[in-house]
Amino acid sequence: MPDKGQILFDGVDITKLEVKEIPLFRQKIGVVFQDFKVLPERTVRENVEVGLAVKGIPQDEWQEKVNQILKLAGLFERSELFPAQLSGGELQRLSLARALIVNPRLILADEPTGNLDWKTAIEIMQLFEKVNKEGKTIIMATHNQMLVERLKKRVIDLEKTTPNDQKDKFEDNTEITKEKKEKISSVSGLKEKPIRDKKMKIKIEEV
């Protein structure tokens, strides 16, 4: 929870949600964790199905959706394996597949490459880019500066847990000017407010 400021999602300040509303909010976003957080005693397919079950999607709609996501994540051939039989990269892809299955409006990725080697991390990032190009907004936290440089995406730099600099860059690493920023906002529907006085306000609309 932030010390100050708001976190708005769909116009709702999520820091003020009641406890019983939290699960419903979580169902709207996909989360990818550094330590994967997959269910160890369920198969790849079942891990993805859990996402649908949690959201209350009818069981007869599962197969098609799951197959589609597993193919996207490159796990279709390994769908009957258990997590213990997967590599780190596959586990992270599974985590992403589970996040994507509910068609979230936003994906939060908490150091998704933290436990992966460089080559696998690149593969995961390629998958993230693929998902991003399909229209999903992804907010990713990472310590990996090289990965950030490689991705050439918009960056919010946090130091000592507070944002001290904002580096909005295009893929060619050029700074985003005020005019360009407004243009981006009008195209993507993403309205972003500069960070001032160690306060952070993230507002997401029409993602």
Least Å from the CB of residue 39 to another protein: 6
Q: Are 30 and 102 contacting, i.e. CB atoms less than 8 angstroms apart?
A: yes
Please report how the helices 62-73 and 88-100 are oriented relative to each other, as an axis angle in degrees rounded to 10: 140
64 makes contact with another protein (CB under 8 A): no
Instruction: Give, as ranges, the residues between 79 and 118 that touch another protein (CB under 8 A).
Output: 98
49 makes contact with another protein (CB under 8 A): yes
Least Å from the CB of residue 150 to another protein: 28
31 makes contact with another protein (CB under 8 A): yes
Of 17-25, 86-94, 177-185, 193-201: span binding another protein (CB under 8 A): 17-25
Least Å from the CB of residue 53 to another protein: 5
Q: Helix or strand or coil: residue 23?
A: helix
Q: Are 88 and 119 contacting, i.e. CB atoms less than 8 angstroms apart?
A: no
Q: Are strands 7-9 and 202-204 parallel, antiparallel or unpaired?
A: parallel
Which is nearer to another protein, 100 or 116 (by Cβ)?
A: 100
Dihedral pair phi/psi, residue 198, rounded to 5°? 55, 25
Least Å from the CB of residue 98 to another protein: 7
Separation CA 149–CA 27 (nearest Å): 31
Of 205, 206, 202, 207, nearest in space to 5 by CA: 202
Taking CB under 8 A as the criterion, the residue among 17, 37, 139, 201 binding another protein is: 37
Q: Are strands 29-32 and 202-204 parallel, antiparallel or unpaired?
A: unpaired
Taking CB under 8 A as the criterion, the residue among 24, 141, 146, 158 binding another protein is: 24
60 makes contact with another protein (CB under 8 A): no
Least Å from the CB of residue 54 to another protein: 5
Q: Which residues pair with 196 in a beta bridge?
A: 199
Q: Residue numbers of the site for another protein (CB under 8 A)? A: 23-28, 31, 33, 37-41, 49-51, 53-55, 59, 98
